[in-house]
Amino acid sequence: MESVALPVLCTCLFLVLAVQGEDERQVHCLGPNKPVQLENPFSDEQMKNVVAYYWFFKPKESLKEELLLSYTFTTVTVDNPRWKQYKEYGAQLDNPNLNDTGTYRASLTTLSTRTDINSEVILIIVDPPTLAEDMLVLFRKVSSETGETSLRCGALQNRGEPAVDLVLMGTDGSLMQSVYDNGYQIAILKEDVAEGTYKCKVADESPGRECISSQEEFWEAEYLLKKPKGGSSGNNVNKQCHSEVLYV
């Protein structure tokens, strides 16, 4: 039994070393003239004496891999017609869609290695969210029927895909319990609500946040809440300021 255990252990160890690091996560935002471009992830040292190089794709929630491109010596074979060569050993997709979300694997075989070296990237294709107006606005609203007071953040024309989440944060920076309805993120305020500055933004965990990073100032809003005293009701402190409470 001892003579069998040692080879099994060595084989398992070798296979683990053949996988390069942990899966990397990337976001690709859909838009005109925005192809997916996968760079060769391997170092110059690893690329010495290349025999074969492959790009594979496994769709999200699928167990089946598809071969996209293969490089053997000086020959490039396009196995999926949607893809083409990018630089020397990369891969490019000119017209990506949401179904192209998944795991992409580069596999390298060289004369100096006994097994393939693999590197994976998890690519999330995102249809970016859009605003209904120029910027997010956070304001307080009072129901004329129930007297219920809420903070509302919006409005979104669409949440994109995967849908982004808006979050409302209290004066201490903690997340408030809220729901999304018809373009607005809504949090009901209690009677003993604290005075101070409340904030609204796209959740950090939303992949679509990376698609609006260059417009971040338009995707964040603040509201300075003051308890009503002689008609004072708080102030919206976005670039466009509003001081009224809306009644519905």
Q: Which residue has the higher pLDDT, 115 or 242?
A: 115
With contact defined as beta carbons under 8 Å apart, do 38 and 90 qualify?
yes
Cα–Cα nearest to 166, from 200, 133, 141, 115? 200
66 has a pLDDT exceeding 70: yes
- Given a cut of 70, whether residue 235 has pLDDT beyond it is no
Q: Angle at the Cα of 31 (from 29 to 37), degrees rounded to 5?
A: 60
Topology alike, domains 21-126 and 130-247: yes
d(CA 41, CA 138): 43
Q: What is the pLDDT at residue 23?
A: 58
Structure tokens at 230: 């002689």
Cβ–Cβ contacts within 10 Å for residue 213, how many? 10
Residues listed for the chain: 248
CB atoms under 10 Å from CB of 129, counted, come to: 22
pLDDT of residue 238: 45
* pLDDT band of 7, cuts 50, 70, 90: very low
Q: What's the CATH superfamily of 21-126?
A: Immunoglobulins (2.60.40.10)
Q: Is the pLDDT of residue 5 over 80?
A: no
Which tens digits make up the pLDDT trace of 129-160? Answer: 999 999 999 999 998 888 899 999 999 999 99
Chain segment 25-65, per-residue pLDDT in tens = 999 999 999 999 999 999 999 998 899 999 999 999 999 99
d(CA 17, CA 129): 40
The whole-number pLDDT of residue 232 equals 42
pTM of the model: 0.79
Which of residues 14 and 6 earns the better pLDDT score? 6
- Could you tell me how far CA 103 lies from the centroid of its own chain? 14
Residue 244 has pLDDT above 50, yes or no: no
* Residues sharing a CB contact under 8 Å with residue 77, sequence separation 6 or more, in sequence order: 69, 70, 71
Answer whether residue 9 shows pLDDT above 60: no
The per-residue pLDDT for 143 is: 87
CATH level 3 topology of 130-247: Immunoglobulin-like (2.60.40)
pLDDT confidence of 188, banded at 50, 70, 90? very high
Give me the pLDDT at residue 230, please: 52
- Tell me the per-residue pLDDT of 70-124, one tens digit each, with 9 for 90 and over: 999 889 999 999 999 999 999 999 999 999 999 999 999 998 877 789 999 999 9
CA atoms in the 13 A half-sphere facing the CB of 74: 0
Q: Would you list the domain boundaries of the chain?
A: 21-126, 130-247
Tens of pLDDT, residue by residue over 197-229, are 999 999 999 999 999 999 999 999 999 998 766
